[in-house]
């Protein structure tokens, strides 16, 4: 029996709708029949059909029938391989697509299979060599295990990782028209979208200011813009729809939402561009697959080019604030001191910044405690208390009674106060217009007048809508243009517009995260609930060094079944199914560090990143502490996400045995590293890629957030931060944007010449 869901929410977030203009057609991945045959064979080895008695339902307190059905599910079942191919073509970097397809093509031939599988494909019968799909399931599984461990075939390992992540993601996120998935009952998962409809806010707070271009056509757009108070004219020769405003803000997240509010409230005519869609509380479905597809950058499947870092970034009205985990932590005093003194940025040492943090916290309704904690946070708190470690509540931009584990897919209760429910409401109430489904292609830059401090002047942007029914490009001219599309998107936009400052796209900090897990059977009644229940992040522990400096912080993540399966190590088909039936009671603790290492992002979705040696050591120290906490909380088994499935059975172990295990914990390499056992990293915070600096050698923008190269072009997002923050950065981003937009507002209002 599958988990039933009441039909509710926006069709796109239920997985049952398509954008207007999209054709409902067959799969468009373009894979050949030979490639698909190989792909299906690999998917079957990743998640093989097993005898119905392979998993004992009593061991996991799950319904026998559901567990038996789950045992028999295969990764080769239609339409899983086709959906994997679609996602690969749509989301992978170019070289990743090529790599996977070449390997699949090789596996479709006997010679290629011999090259990649060695003696496992040999037999004593003609034709003596089998291609991959003709191998027994056991031999295919052994081949995948060999690829995963062999440090000399890292490209093959990376290709397998791509397929493994996508295959399991599809299996555990796909839903039918009723929001059902055949695996969920067996793994103990339930979608929380069956609230009393009267408890779900029906109001769309931004309705009067939002224009959803996906619903428009060439003929209707001018009229719709006029209804929002924007006069647009068509230049048929250039196929441009031209409009003007005082301030143009590109992006609607933590930076853009605040900037739009401050500037609209100062009396400016503001237009906000957002490439994502607009969804309100009543639209959210809490379904992992459709929600991440619509609400996250790259559909929630973004990684560094080497596959070593999995990255989450919001891409909807409200940006990250619409889908983050509510943590609202003020900028640490040590960071303010470092930025003000070492980086010589007076803003961060000013009373204005401290006041801005208070203003931000008040506007987004930050509370300091939690009335009832969910499963994972109970684990973190209990483990710390058992060990005598300090554990604090995480301030959140929601009420103290907010008990919601689905905020990563949008808050159906409307309790979490992202920019879509706060700052953007203020902006719209003061006349701002938000154009959704509208992506800035480049800034309009022209040569500046002689004698100006900057060689260029920004006049606005050229943008493109995502509607197939709009053929015109948009030209939006403004006195001031603000890039607030985040640390991953602002640099590519500036570079594609012709800006050359060497800091643009560099110094990218990601707050790298490693994860420890612990299994708590249902028989442990002291810690109640499931992994997906309760506030996502309500407890925090600082891992301190010998001189009381914070080396890492330990918090808890949101992990739906698909994300859980994607980051789990793969050892065998049976092992991954055993891990999944433990899903609901496997607690995860994330270890986050303020990274000294950094990366680059100079073109869209092409992210490189390298840890500093001290980052690896701090992650290792934090990971050891997280494992101790899980053991102290009562886990019967703990482990890391190292590729070999590193774990420890906890029953009856003594302190010496625990320490011996902890001594084996390390943070090394990635899938492309020449190491047998490696560990993947994750990130939900991106900062520093267009940092402020006292001159154009130190930063991409000046101390007011203005480009060193283009007058009138400002940056108001996380990319201006000089370094990583070391804590969840929402308050820091909003406070910085508040201060910078106040400066802009004063100068626009007084019509003074911008420096």
Enzyme catalytic residues: 685
Burial 603-637 (b: 16+ CB within 10 A, else e): eebbbbbebeeebbbbbbbbbbbbbbbbbbbbbeb
Report which of 242, 237, 239, 298 is spatially closest to residue 271, judged by C-alpha positions.
242
**How many other CB atoms are there within 10 angstroms of residue 546's CB atom?**
6
Give the three-class secondary structure for 679. strand
**How many other CB atoms are there within 10 angstroms of residue 185's CB atom?**
20
Report which of 96, 664, 297, 744 is spatially closest to residue 480, judged by C-alpha positions.
744
DSSP 443: E
In which residue are the tokens 């283009």 written? 710
Q: Quick one: CA torsion of 99, 104, 106, 112, rounded to 10 degrees? A: 110
The Cα diameter of the chain in Å comes to 87
Q: What distance in Å separates the CA atoms of residue 561 and residue 653, rounded to the nearest whole number?
A: 30
**Beta strands 681-683; 309-311: pairing state:** parallel
Give the three-class secondary structure for 476. strand
Give the three-class secondary structure for 517. strand
Residue 717's contacts (CB-CB under 8 Å, 6 or more residues apart) are 251, 253, 254, 255, 256, 483, 484, 485, 486, 487, 490, 733, 737
Report which of 41, 223, 229, 6 is spatially closest to residue 131, judged by C-alpha positions.
41
Tell me the helix, strand and coil percentages in the chain, rounded to 5: 40, 15, 45
Distances (CA, A) of 333 to 135, 337, 691: 60, 6, 19
Q: Where are the alpha helices (H) located in 442-542, listed in sequence order?
A: 490-496
Report which of 615, 358, 608 is spatially closest to residue 507, judged by C-alpha positions.
608
Q: What distance in Å separates the CA atoms of residue 376 and residue 514, rounded to the nearest whole number?
A: 16
Q: What distance in Å separates the CA atoms of residue 482 and residue 741, rounded to the nearest whole number?
A: 9
The token pair at 522 is 């249902």
DSSP 339: I
The token pair at 73 is 């599910």
**Beta strands 456-465; 710-711: pairing state:** parallel
- Note whether 140 and 39 are within 8 A (CB): no
Cis peptide before 643 (omega within 30 of 0): no
DSSP 212: E
Cis peptide before 655 (omega within 30 of 0): no
- Note whether 282 and 9 are within 8 A (CB): yes
Distances (CA, A) of 115 to 44, 118, 140, 586: 21, 6, 14, 39
- Note whether 172 and 562 are within 8 A (CB): yes
- Note whether 85 and 36 are within 8 A (CB): yes
- Note whether 181 and 580 are within 8 A (CB): no
In which residue are the tokens 């979608």 written? 191
Q: Bin 60: left if φ > 0, else alpha if -120 < ψ < 50, else beta.
A: alpha
The token pair at 72 is 């028999």
- Note whether 520 and 61 are within 8 A (CB): no
Give the three-class secondary structure for 442. strand
């Amino acid at each position: 029996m599958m988990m039933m869901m009441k039909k509710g929410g926006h069709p796109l977030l239920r997985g049952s709708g398509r954008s207007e203009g999209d054709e409902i057609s067959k799969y468009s991945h373009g894979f050949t029949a030979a490639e698909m045959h190989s792909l299906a064979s690999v998917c079957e080895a990743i998640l093989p059909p097993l005898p119905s008695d392979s998993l004992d339902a009593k061991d996991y307190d799950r319904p026998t029938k559901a567990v038996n059905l789950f045992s028999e599910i295969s990764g080769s079942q239609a339409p899983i391989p086709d959906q994997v191919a679609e996602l690969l073509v749509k989301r992978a970097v170019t070289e990743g697509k090529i790599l996977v397809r070449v390997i699949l093509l090789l596996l479709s031939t006997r010679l290629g299979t011999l090259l990649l599988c060695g003696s496992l494909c040999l037999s004593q019968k003609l034709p003596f060599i089998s291609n991959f799909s003709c191998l027994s399931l056991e031999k295919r599984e052994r081949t995948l295990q060999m690829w995963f461990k062999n440090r000399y075939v890292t490209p093959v390992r990376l290709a397998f990782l791509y397929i493994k992540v996508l295959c399991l993601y599809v299996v555990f996120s796909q839903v039918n028209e009723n929001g059902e998935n055949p695996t969920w009952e067996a793994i103990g998962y339930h979608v929380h979208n069956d609230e009393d409809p009267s408890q779900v806010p029906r109001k769309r707070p931004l309705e009067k200011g939002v224009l959803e271009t996906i619903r428009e056509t060439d003929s209707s757009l001018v009229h719709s813009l006029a209804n929002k108070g924007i006069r647009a004219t068509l230049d048929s020769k250039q196929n441009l729809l031209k409009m003007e405003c005082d301030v143009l803000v590109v992006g609607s997240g933590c930076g853009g939402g605040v900037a739009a509010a401050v500037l609209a409230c100062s009396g400016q005519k503001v237009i906000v561009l957002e490439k994502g869609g607009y969804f309100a509380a009543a639209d959210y479905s809490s379904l992992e697959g459709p929600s991440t597809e619509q609400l996250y950058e790259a559909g929630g499947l973004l990684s560094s080019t080497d596959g070593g870092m999995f990255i989450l970034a919001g891409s909807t009205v409200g940006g990250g604030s619409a889908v983050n985990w509510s943590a609202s932590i003020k900028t640490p005093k040590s960071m303010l001191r470092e930025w003000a003194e070492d980086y010589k940025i007076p803003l961060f040492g000013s009373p204005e910044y401290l006041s801005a943090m208070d203003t931000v916290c008040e506007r987004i309704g930050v509370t300091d405690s939690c009335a009832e904690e969910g499963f994972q946070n109970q684990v973190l708190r209990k483990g710390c208390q058992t060990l005598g470690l300090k554990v604090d509540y995480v301030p959140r931009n929601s009420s103290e009674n907010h008990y919601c584990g689905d905020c990563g897919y949008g808050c159906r209760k409307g309790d979490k106060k992202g920019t879509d429910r706060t700052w953007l409401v203020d902006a719209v109430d003061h006349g701002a217009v938000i154009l959704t489904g509208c992506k800035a292609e480049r800034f309009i830059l022209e040569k500046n007048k002689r004698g100006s401090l900057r060689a260029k002047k920004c006049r606005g942007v050229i943008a493109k809508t995502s509607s197939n029914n709009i053929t015109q490009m948009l030209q939006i001219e403004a006195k001031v243009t603000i890039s607030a599309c985040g640390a991953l998107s602002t640099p590519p936009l500036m570079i594609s517009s012709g800006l050359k400052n060497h800091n643009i796209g560099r110094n990218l900090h990601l707050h790298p995260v490693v994860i420890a897990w612990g299994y708590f059977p249902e028989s442990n009644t002291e810690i109640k609930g499931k992994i997906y229940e309760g506030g996502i992040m309500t407890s925090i522990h600082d891992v301190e060094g010998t001189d009381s400096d914070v080396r890492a912080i330990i918090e808890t993540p949101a992990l739906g079944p698909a994300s859980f399966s994607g980051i789990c190590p793969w050892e065998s088909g049976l092992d991954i199914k055993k891990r999944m039936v433990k899903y609901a009671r496997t607690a995860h603790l994330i270890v986050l560090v303020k990274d000294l290492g950094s990366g680059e992002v100079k073109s869209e979705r092409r992210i490189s990143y390298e840890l500093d040696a001290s980052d690896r050591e701090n992650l290792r120290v934090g990971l050891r502490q997280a494992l101790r906490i899980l053991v102290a909380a009562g886990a019967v088994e703990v482990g890391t996400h190292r590729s070999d499935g590193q774990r420890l059975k906890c029953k009856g172990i003594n302190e010496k045995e625990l320490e011996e295990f902890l001594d084996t914990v390390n943070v090394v390499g990635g899938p492309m590293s020449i190491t047998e056992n490696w560990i993947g990293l994750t990130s939900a915070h991106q900062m520093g890629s267009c940092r402020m600096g006292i001159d154009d050698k130190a930063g991409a923008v000046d101390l007011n957030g203005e480009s060193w190269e283009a007058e009138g072009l400002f940056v108001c997002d996380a990319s201006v931060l000089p370094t990583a923050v070391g804590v969840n950065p929402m308050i820091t981003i909003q406070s910085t944007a508040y201060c910078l937009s106040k400066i802009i507002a004063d100068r626009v209002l007084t019509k003074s010449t911008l420096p």
